[in-house]
Amino acid sequence: MAAKTVIVVQARMASSRLPGKVMLPVLGKSILALMIERLQMIKHQVTIVIATSVNAEDDIIEQEAQAINIPCYRGSLQNLLDRHYQAALLHGAEVVLKIPSDCPLIDPDIIDNVLDYFFERETSFDYVSNLHPATYPDGNDVEIMTMACLKRAWENADKALELEHTTPYIWENPEQFSIGNVSWETELDYSMSHRFTIDYREDYLFIKRVFEELYPENENFSCYDILELLNHRPEIYQINAQYAGVNWYRHHLNELKTIQPEQTRQVAG
């Protein structure tokens, strides 16, 4: 019998750079709803849970979850590790996927590839991602862990960044966990050059344009379809190119043992 697998999608309205980003409209739907559609396209059988905070401003996230018929768990605003653990526990997870809501262009096939890798070696790894090191275009973030692994992190993590970002305790302590990584089969590395995630207004304009170009003809468009679009329409790539390579690591380089300075970039200017 297959292990009960739960995808936990963290979502909140608070964002210092782009407030309410997950509820911004694209083609008459919210970015969050479009992302959930893409998660529902994977071939593996999973339960999808939206995990938001108990803060009143996130009532709209719960309402959206109800509207698209997805379970919603509400927990700590700042302690994402606890929010993930409690949501997974509530839904009887044996395997947990962390996929942040700022990845609305995530390729379902990439999720399946990482899941295949994990399940083909199910007794080998506590944690598998495609982020350590990352090679896919930014915004295809998949992190898979056993419930036992998540529980150990939940019991032992105490640094602010470990609580806020859920999984650093795991990948920062490779002596405690068996860790695997999936690299892009192309052998290319677009993790610092292509940005499909949302954190700035330019990211929203980029994502909106990609959906407008590809979604009407093929709702299940792939990472390769996006890259082909950008190859033919370089002006779309340029919309948010200034933020390529910018990620949260940049704030914690002095705290993270396994992250090198070249794996992030500061915002220009």
Q: How many domains does the chain have?
A: 1
pTM, 2 dp: 0.96
pLDDT in tens, 166-217: 999 999 999 999 999 999 999 999 999 999 999 999 999 999 999 999 999 9
- Domain limits for position 232: 1-269
User: What is 30-52 written as a DSSP string?
Assistant: EHHHHHHHHHTT-SS--EEEEEE
> pLDDT value at position 156?
98
pLDDT at 1: 56
| Residues of the chain predicted below pLDDT 70 | 1, 269
Sign of the alpha-carbon dihedral angle for 228, 230, 233, 236? positive
In the chain, what is the greatest distance between 2 CA atoms, to the nearest angstrom? 53
- Strand 95-98 relative to strand 5-10: parallel, antiparallel, unpaired? parallel
**In this predicted structure, what is the pLDDT of residue 269?**
61
Neighbouring C-beta atoms of residue 109, cutoff 10 Å: 15
Q: What is the CATH number of the domain that holds 265?
A: 3.90.550.10
| 203 touches 209 (CB < 8 A) | no
Task: Please state, in angstroms and rounded to a whole number, the distance separating the CA atoms of residues 160 and 52.
Answer: 18
Assess contact for 5 and 92: CB atoms under 8 A.
Answer: no
Which is it for the CA torsion 31, 162, 254, 189, positive or negative?
negative
